[in-house]
Structure 1
Amino acid sequence: MKTMWRAEPNGLFAYLVQEGKRIFLGSSSLQELTAWLETSRPSPLIDKLYEDGFIQNPTSKLEISELKSILNEVNQVKSPLRSRTAPELINLELTTRCPLRCPQCYCDLYKGKDLNPDIAEKVIYEAARLKVPYLNLSGGETLVYPHLDRLLKLINELGLSSAIAISGWGFDEKRLKELKDAGVKEIYVSLNGSVEEVNSLSRDGYSQAIAALELLQKDGEIITFINWVARNDNIADFPNLVKLAKTFNVDGIAILESKPDANMQAQAPLNNNQLLDLAEHIKSHQRKEKSPLIIVESCFSPLRAILGKTFFMNKNIGISKGCAAGRAGVALDVDGNWIPCRHLLKPESYPSLHEYWWKSTVLNQLRQHEENKDSKCLTCQFEQNCLPCRVLGDNYSCAFNHNGDGSALIEQGDVN
């Protein structure tokens, strides 16, 4: 069965990894699925599962048997506090080497180190056993890692999805063919500005990134995203970046929150007005156009909280409402140690992902943030719908608190 089904205490996840599709079935949907398995009576849910390819039509006896078995697991599986039974995503830090010289970055082509490929393979095999569908491969510069194709092939053979982030350095037609042959599913090109003048404020390699987008557009087979870091020095350029993305027919733009530099100093954070402006640009784009898709990384929770707000409720809830470190994702650093995410550098050594997920002291502390919120979060109107980045802990500079609390958002009006 090509669908990866994964039981959680409150429902089922279904992943069509090759097609990039994902669905969650809660209690009412499970009842509908159970009724269909017992009676073969069609329903809107079953029709939808047929249509999207999560179940086959006609459904084989083997597929029905496997569905019944996975439904039984829902009543048996457990998960850590506020977490999935296992991560949905693992980030592998392949290398700390990079040929570019981005402002505030510590990477160096000649002084860095690479992840032991045997350790990486062990993690990938365990990810398959635990039904972790998504693996991100990053650096440094991902393309300088000598064992990249080897890992991509293994991920593909095990039926998982791979995504790599690149700057554009070392990327040409030959390298693209090698990556496609290895089974890469998605490529994210890092670009912080529509023109070199804006991009160079925070990133090197503008011409390489543009060349990479041109090549991916010409090829037309790989899912392509632009990784764009929202900063106070490029926020006004965002509409132009969307236009640029359209010219290259990219599938989407991934909006990332600006993370601390190597000295743990926050770099170019947005203020309240800039956050609201960005949210309005995204809302306006989503109302008018389907492409490119704009997604916001989970740790950029303040932005997700604004975008999730409707007249009756806020849809930014649950495990996915904010920082996913230790809740839906983890990372492996270049030394083979586990860390909550690639930016939260609190390494721990465990013999397996499973043990880390269940026994880590660091992850347990992160999962208890709701009981230990600071006063700024407790007085914010988005307190129930936001879980901000934990890299800086209580020193996190939140745009919601630009005026000391969340009131400025109300004064400037809601973004609907």
Structure 2
Amino acid sequence: LPLTTRELRRRFLGRFGRHANLAEIDRTVRQLDDLGFVAEPVPGVVRADEAVWLDPESIPIAPESVHLQLTNACNLRCPSCYVGVQATDEGSLSLERLLTLVDEIAELGVFQLALGGGEPLMSPHAVPVVQHARRRGLLSHVTTNGWLLTKSLVAQLREAIGEVRLSFNDGFSISQEFLAKKAALLQAEGVPFGVNVIVTHRNVRQVSELLRWFVSLRPATITLIRPKPSPHNRTWYDANALSAHDSWLLLRQLRRLEPLFTETDLTVDCAFSHLFGGLSEAELAARGVAGCSMGERFVVVASNGDVYPCSYLRREEFKAGNVIEQSFSRIWQTSPLLARLRARQEYSDGHCGPRAKRQISVGCRAIQVNAAQCASVP
């Protein structure tokens, strides 16, 4: 039977407690309303003061998204990659173990499976995993450089995939002409697609031009990604990290381009949370801006089964467990590392005091840890 909007919101908020993303809850309720599952019209956005919170220290029953790295192997050598140019497919999970993992996260109540790598389409298990996830009620997204996208492969994914995300890494290895061809292929096959764009010190002044061109491809979503350091890309990061002035230039361009986004959604990753610094807490909650949510709303399962809070923190001290040795649900519910992250207990390399930790607690913790520049990281 149809539920009222108040009851739907209460159930969402009761399920995820303080880890809920209010803006996404509201969008979901509106979609359900459009489909006839809501017993009354949706009156407006969810406000922070409407929340029915659980114990502040409660564990979210499930992450909203699990980022599954199918393989470390890749057919490109992008200098921005967190995996490293010498990565191979050795030690990746078997298809049987991957399907079992999909079953586990589906039973736990995860909303979305985000497939990456490496280049996920290099894995022979990509299509079976996407199709099995669909049978289990999971929505899958695949992030790819696009080189292996063919009409035949897209046809196999079409009925099971939620969205294909095409990566545009500051012009490295992927040209605009190539991207346009892959976008046309996906559109012809009726597969929703989005574009991930890394905004760097080198291209930040061309963001307006790039976004106008990307919008002309008619993607469902364009996501702007901030450069992040890893042990494998530090030279690239040092040359491409955004300065405070770069962030100001980006924000100024985005404000001018707002009327452009009527059919395409423009989103930014959590490392750009500082762009919203002028909003009140209530406005931040309504827009779903919560800063870094690793370990709360998402976790990463590496190709060998190791579980990490973030793709850029694939280090032993940030390993929460391994899905071969423990069930995913046990790792999610009992990992001391994930518990500390949910409590916003920041890691420090010794250069940051408590005040600095609070200042960056809503920013990118991978930048804090890997770049050791706490004082300047929002």
Shorter-chain TM-score range: 0.7 to 0.9
**Cα distance in structure 1, aligned partners of 2:370 and 2:132:** 40
Residue number in structure 2 paired with 1:173: 151
The correspondence for 1:244, drawn from 189, 213, 216, is 213
**Cα distance in structure 1, aligned partners of 2:148 and 2:130:** 17
Residue number in structure 2 paired with 1:32: none
**Cα distance in structure 2, aligned partners of 1:270 and 1:391:** 12
Which letter maps to 1:55? F
Matches within 5 A, 1:266-305: 266-267=237-238, 268-287=240-259, 289-298=261-270, 300=271, 303-305=272-274
**Cα distance in structure 2, aligned partners of 1:144 and 1:288:** 35
- More off after superposition, 138-147 vs 256-265: 256-265
Cα deviation, 1:39-85, whole Å, max 9, x if unaligned, reads xxxxxx9xx68733372569xxxxxxxxxxxxxxx89x76856x533
Distance 1:116 1:176, change over 3 A: same
Question: SS of the residue aligned with 1:316?
Answer: helix
Cα deviation, 1:279-316, whole Å, max 9, x if unaligned, reads 22223322453232111122x1xx22323633x55633
**Cα distance in structure 1, aligned partners of 2:262 and 2:65:** 26
CA contact (8 A) 1:162 1:185 kept: yes
The correspondence for 1:333, drawn from 297, 302, 305, is 302
Which letter maps to 2:187? Q
Which letter maps to 2:188? K
Distance 1:57 1:251, change over 3 A: same
Residue number in structure 2 paired with 1:187: 164
Residue number in structure 2 paired with 1:55: 37
- More off after superposition, 334-343 vs 382-391: 382-391
Question: SS of the residue aligned with 2:333?
Answer: helix
CA contact (8 A) 2:274 2:363 kept: no
Which letter maps to 2:264? P
CA contact (8 A) 1:95 1:145 kept: yes
Identity of aligned residues (%): 19
Matches within 5 A, 1:178-257: 178-181=156-159, 183-193=160-170, 199=171, 203-206=172-175, 208-219=178-189, 221-257=190-226
Distance 1:100 1:249, change over 3 A: same
For the pair 1:8 / 2:15, whether they are aligned, the reply is yes
CA contact (8 A) 1:305 1:316 kept: no
CA contact (8 A) 1:305 1:385 kept: no
Per the TM alignment, residue 328 of structure 1 is displaced from its structure 2 partner at its CA by 1.0
Question: SS of the residue aligned with 1:305?
Answer: helix
Per the TM alignment, residue 129 of structure 1 is displaced from its structure 2 partner at its CA by 1.4
Per the TM alignment, residue 228 of structure 1 is displaced from its structure 2 partner at its CA by 0.8
Residue number in structure 2 paired with 1:316: 284
**Cα distance in structure 2, aligned partners of 1:371 and 1:99:** 36
Per the TM alignment, residue 171 of structure 1 is displaced from its structure 2 partner at its CA by 1.1
The correspondence for 1:390, drawn from 362, 366, 369, is 366
For the pair 1:115 / 2:122, whether they are aligned, the reply is no
Matches within 5 A, 1:335-414: 335-345=304-314, 346-347=318-319, 348-349=321-322, 351-370=326-345, 375=352, 378=355, 383=359, 386-390=362-366, 392-393=368-369, 395-397=371-373, 401=376
Q: Report the count of equivalent residues.
A: 344
Residue number in structure 2 paired with 1:93: 69
Which letter maps to 1:126? E
**Cα distance in structure 1, aligned partners of 2:21 and 2:292:** 22
**Cα distance in structure 1, aligned partners of 2:98 and 2:346:** 35
Question: SS of the residue aligned with 1:96?
Answer: coil
Cα deviation, 1:328-364, whole Å, max 9, x if unaligned, reads 1111111112111222113323512221122212223
Per the TM alignment, residue 264 of structure 1 is displaced from its structure 2 partner at its CA by 6.1
Residue number in structure 2 paired with 1:307: 276
Distance 1:156 1:395, change over 3 A: same
**Cα distance in structure 2, aligned partners of 1:353 and 1:279:** 39
Per the TM alignment, residue 145 of structure 1 is displaced from its structure 2 partner at its CA by 0.8
Larger radius of gyration: 1
Residue number in structure 2 paired with 1:124: 102
* Higher RCO (CA-CA < 8 Å; seq separation 6+): 2
**Cα distance in structure 1, aligned partners of 2:212 and 2:21:** 34
**Cα distance in structure 2, aligned partners of 1:243 and 1:107:** 31
Q: TM-score, normalised by structure 2?
A: 0.77
Question: SS of the residue aligned with 1:321?
Answer: coil
* CA root-mean-square deviation: 3.7
The correspondence for 1:263, drawn from 232, 249, 256, is 232
**Cα distance in structure 2, aligned partners of 1:392 and 1:88:** 24
CA contact (8 A) 2:144 2:166 kept: yes
Per the TM alignment, residue 89 of structure 1 is displaced from its structure 2 partner at its CA by 0.6
Q: TM-score, normalised by structure 1?
A: 0.71
